[in-house]
Amino acid sequence: MSFETTEPAFRFRQGTRPLLISMPHVGTHVPPALAARFTEEARHVPDTDWHLERLYDFADELGASVLVATHSRYVVDLNRPPDNQNLYPGQDTTGLCPVDTFDKTPLYAAGDLPGEAEIAARVDAIWRPYHQQLQAELDRLKAAHGTIALWDAHSIRSVLPRFFEGRLTDLNLGSADGASCDPALAAALLGIATSNPAYTAALNGRFKGGHITRQYGNPAAGVHAVQLEMTQASYMQEKLPFDYLPEVAAGVQPQVRRMIEAVLDFVEQ
């Protein structure tokens, strides 16, 4: 199977302060020829990190740069390494070009899975441009500010037996076990995350940060990268039609904003 898309690989807004917010799993676009191969369930792209641009609608006000995926993770997963290496050895994960949903149901109705050439074409069309833009913006910020931060924004259903037992912690901070950002920053963020008893929080628990956090975080070089994986129940409806719930989101959004402000305070001090 060949692969083509007419959609740009990302949307990008350049900010003024030393922070880039990356949203690699918010995309919902699936090119029509690929969607035709999907199951009805897969065409709803249920494993999207829904509504994060809305939840982070304060980013522009704070002066952050924002990089947003356009294509579904079912097309190509921007938070996986291009060699498809498992980021959590020994645990079940989805790959660079997934073949099933988080519930382990098949994506491809007729079983016509993407081969090496199609996967390579998806990487060239979508994965590579996103990462080139991410690196270019980090380079620009580094040249302008010296010390900078990368925040990788994610969300996931709160109950997913494939990946974890029971209900997931609400606010899951990842710093690649301390390798991607200064421990003092991670500790400050955890303090904010645990400050509201309405939400549970963890640092380097089930989610330690994916490829983006691990690839670009380099605190010794002044690049501090953090991933936040939130439960979707904290701000939205977890089942179709996956609606944003403003009255629910209003509880957690101030906490997320405080974490972003703490990142900026840290790199600007």
- Predicted local confidence at residue 92, as pLDDT: 64
Element (H, E) at 67: strand 65-69
Its domain, for residue 146, covers 10-268
Q: What is the mean pLDDT of residues 32-46?
A: 97
Q: What is the mean pLDDT of residues 42-65?
A: 98
Is residue 92 domain-resident?
Answer: yes
- Is it the case that residue 61 has pLDDT exceeding 70? yes
Strands 223-231 and 171-174: antiparallel
Q: What is the mean pLDDT of residues 64-91?
A: 88
Is residue 5 domain-resident?
Answer: no
- Is it the case that residue 112 has pLDDT exceeding 80? yes
Is residue 79 domain-resident?
Answer: yes
Is residue 2 domain-resident?
Answer: no
- Predicted local confidence at residue 90, as pLDDT: 67
- Is it the case that residue 210 has pLDDT exceeding 90? yes
Is residue 74 domain-resident?
Answer: yes
**Number of domains within the chain:** 1
Q: Which two tokens stand for residue 132?
A: 């080139």
Q: Is 175 exposed, middle or buried (0-12, 13-18, 19+ CB in 10 A)?
A: buried
Report the predicted TM-score, pTM, of the whole model to 2 decimal places: 0.96
Is residue 101 domain-resident?
Answer: yes
Element (H, E) at 190: helix 183-193
**What distance in Å separates the CA atoms of residue 29 and residue 95, rounded to the nearest whole number?**
18
Strands 10-13 and 65-69: antiparallel
Is residue 192 domain-resident?
Answer: yes
**What distance in Å separates the CA atoms of residue 234 and residue 257, rounded to the nearest whole number?**
14
Q: What does the chain come to in residues?
A: 269
Q: Check if the beta carbon of residue 252 is closer than 8 Å to that of residue 199.
A: yes
Is residue 189 domain-resident?
Answer: yes
**Residue 19 vs residues 4, 56, 58, 146, 225: alpha-carbon distances, Å:** 32, 13, 13, 11, 10
**What distance in Å separates the CA atoms of residue 93 and residue 150, rounded to the nearest whole number?**
23
Q: Is 238 exposed, middle or buried (0-12, 13-18, 19+ CB in 10 A)?
A: middle
| Residue among 144, 140, 210 at smallest CA distance from 180 | 210
- Is it the case that residue 84 has pLDDT exceeding 80? no
119: domain CATH number?
3.40.630.40
Q: What is the mean pLDDT of residues 177-200?
A: 97
| Residue among 50, 98, 44, 75 at smallest CA distance from 248 | 50
Residues 6+ apart with CB under 8 A from 56: 21, 23, 66, 153, 256, 260
